[in-house]
A and B are shown apart, each in its own frame.
Chain A
């Protein structure tokens, strides 16, 4: 079973990959509280797509965890699982536990 620390590392790594393509002035401050989606987020729509794809790819390639982060279950949740790094981490752990 994938651990909370491993999921955090996957998300942080994906954010670092995003930062690598951004200008120094646009760098995303990376922490558990980093907003990923919504009005507070510093990530544009294409960046968000890249983030989700990078996280999904790392989970399946490096951890053999095949999950879809953009599904009906995600859309139905009261709090968006994409709000922050922490909510995304918890959502991934929920999906992993269900497998």
Chain B
């Protein structure tokens, strides 16, 4: 059988949080378009595909991330595109937020993205090409009640992307953020429907986002033609600071 020829047929792509939600959608999308995809997440593999490899780890564990990328270096020798998607959400009033959940969100949503970006950049710099795409959230600017730490980690990741964009620019690596609005995922299921409706009502385009909305932006950021696009955050649905 001939290898599938798609827009990513020559690319090695790492997707964090690839078991479900947006990460799963994006892993499937990259596979459909011919990429070799390495999924990182805490659970076991949820995808069976000849071009898919899964590594079970916590992205907030820096040593585990270093070991995973060393293994990728040995097996593939490169990484072209990283999607920093892994994230956890506990939505509760700040005065009721368990410290363990707060720390887990900081470790996974913020530090995990930093660790993965740095290890990926070490491989990307050799090829003078790299695309780091963070999955952000409209919560970072809409600041919904209950999302104190979650929104703050997403805002912090956007700031981090701006600095990394500068530090990695000379290596041919761009760092951008897709801030999604509400998308039908397991994570969204943790938020009461009336809360979602109220948040969506604040958007210029007040509807749930679709997978194709996500793919459209990720494909744009990942394109080799987007070499002059970095340190940008694109908000689905029109949310803005």
Contact = CB atoms under 8 A, between A and B. Distances in A.
Interface stretch (A29-37, A53-61, A78-86): A53-61
Given A56-B122, A60-B66, A61-B74, 9 more contacts: A46-B170, A50-B125, A53-B122, A57-B73, A61-B70, A61-B73, A64-B70, A66-B67, A68-B62
Nearest to B70: A60
Q: Interface size for chain B: under 10, 10 to 19, 20 to 34, or 35 or more residues?
A: 10 to 19
Given A46-B170, A53-B122, A57-B122, A66 B63 contact: yes
B66 A66 contact: yes
Interface in B133-175: 170
Q: Interface size for chain A: under 10, 10 to 19, 20 to 34, or 35 or more residues?
A: 10 to 19
16 contacts: A46-B170, A50-B125, A53-B122, A53-B125, A57-B73, A57-B122, A60-B66, A60-B67, A60-B70, A61-B70, A61-B74, A64-B70, A66-B66, A66-B67, A66-B70, A68-B62
Contacts of B66: 60, 66
Contacts of A50: 125
Contacts of B125: 50, 53
A57 B67 CA distance: 10
B157 to A, nearest CB: 22
A92 to B, nearest CB: 15
Main secondary structure of the interface of A (DSSP, over half): helix
Contacts of B63: 66
B57 to A, nearest CB: 13
A9 to B, nearest CB: 18
B66 to A, nearest CB: 6
A57 B170 CA distance: 19
Contacts of B122: 53, 56-57
Nearest to A53: B122
Contacts of A57: 70, 73, 122
A50 B171 CA distance: 11
A50 B128 CA distance: 13
Interface in B62-81: 62-63, 66-67, 70, 73-74
